[in-house]
Amino acid sequence: MSADFFFQDVRLFDPSSGIDIQGSLLVRDGLIADFGASPGRPENVKIVTADGAILCPGLVDMRAALGEPGFEYRETIHSAAAAAAAGGITTLAALPDTMPAIDDPALVRLLRSRGEETGSLTILPYGAVTRGCRGDELAELGLLREAGAVAFTDGGRAVGSSRLMRTALSYARGFGARIIQHPEDPSLARGAVATEGALATRLGLPSIPACAEALLVARDIRLAELTGGAVHFAHVSTAEALALIRVAKDKGIAVTCDTAPPYFDLNETAIGVFRTYAKLSPPLRAESDRLAVQAGLADGTIDAVASDHQPRDVDDKRLPFALASPGGSGLATLLGITLAQFHNGAITLAQAIGLLTSRPAALLGIDAGRIARGLPADLCLFHPEAIWQVVAGELPGKAQNTPFDGRALEGRVLGTWKAGRRVFG
């Protein structure tokens, strides 16, 4: 059950509404009832105070794997919900490359209901573009959309067939949906585990050229232009791809993109001497690409920051680098790593919070990620200067495979509320 709360003397911050004031906010019956510099404080409400804290909308994570169904040994919906709450995330779009894949309307409805069962997290399922996410036959996109799929993707697998991608973009356009692509040429990526260059050569690792990302981005931009469909590129990680996206946006083509914290906080040197926690897909890039991603956050080319949460267990990672599963956990660290870009002066606080709230919400077509009277009280209270350290093995949730192990961060979540119910802190 939700309780009534009064957040007293906090910094209310919502870049989508231009709100940045020192004030208070009242939650009644799970909804935002009132807020402002000096709203009246009613009786019989719980008072929440936190000196120096910021109250912003609950974060909207537009890309995460949940482990369920099929990979519960890595993560479950409930363990992911606990990690999300600790990270200030109240809404999450779930990838469909599970076992079975989310290519059936019943599975879309099931994931939505399982999210409701947590009481702390709205789960928005993506539908698979192709049956089984195998890339050879189009899924029933219309039926998946009717069941509640917010967009379509094959998750960590690229739609490699140009013909299939063209058809998918055309169909999705008919009901106003996006195709979300993992931008990596499949033939160049096959067997690769690191970005091509001196480091991969020195370590003897099978590698993929960074241009493999741009090759698929260029193709899909052209197909979006041809069909009038909307394509979204996930976890963009290279300067070349971002340059293509920037030009396409200037031409008015329906192209958007997101990135994930590893691609603006880390570079390829993080793999060290075969450090499997830093084995990701796409792989970590050169420093010049990291700087280009950072610039893309600042100039608006990048539309959102997603956790790109890919849970793995010990047995997935305790293997030779070439054999270990790619992926990093990212729910609990999403806010802190993004705020590091604010603290180092690369982006403003408004940009950082917008990339995590209203901008991904707009891409998903949902009314979330903002503070407004009458909306559900999905809220995140954090202190922007509170210092903490990421320690694998001590993170909330089941997945501990963080590429940020040992990283000190400024910006810690103090509390998370879902529809007026405190779910963390």
Write the DSSP assignment of 234-251 as a string of letters: -S---HHHHHHHHHHHHT
Is the CB of residue 305 less than 8 Å from the CB of residue 338? yes
E-strand stretches of 81-225: 89-94, 122-125, 152-153, 178-181, 194-195, 207-208
User: For residues 298 and 225, what is the distance between their CA atoms, to the nearest angstrom?
Assistant: 26
Nearest residue to 23 (alpha-carbon basis) of 338, 367, 371, 339: 371
- Give the three-state DSSP class for 295: helix
Nearest residue to 386 (alpha-carbon basis) of 336, 333, 332, 331: 336
Q: Which residue has the tokens 């991969």?
A: 200
Give me the helices (H) in 148-257, please: 162-174, 186-189, 198-203, 211-227, 239-250
Count CB neighbours of 416 within 10 A.
26
Sheet of 178-181: strands edge to edge? 152-153, 178-181, 230-233, 255-259, 304-305
What does DSSP assign to residue 130? B
For the record, the structure tokens of 330 come out as: 């990212």
- Can you give the three-state secondary structure of 30-83, one letter per residue? CEEEEEECCCCCCCCCEEECCCCCEEEECEEEEEECCCCCCCCCCCCHHHHHHH
Annotated active-site residue 308? The verdict is yes
Q: Which residue has the tokens 């804290």?
A: 53
Q: Which residue has the tokens 């003897």?
A: 204
**Per the residue annotation, which of 308, 316, 378, 405 is the catalytic one?**
308
User: For residues 139 and 1, what is the distance between their CA atoms, to the nearest angstrom?
Assistant: 39
Torsion, CA 392, CA 393, CA 394, CA 400, rounded to 10: 60
Between the CA of residue 273 and those of 47, 197, 205, 255, 401, what are the distances in Å? Answer: 50, 15, 11, 37, 17
Catalytically annotated residues: 308
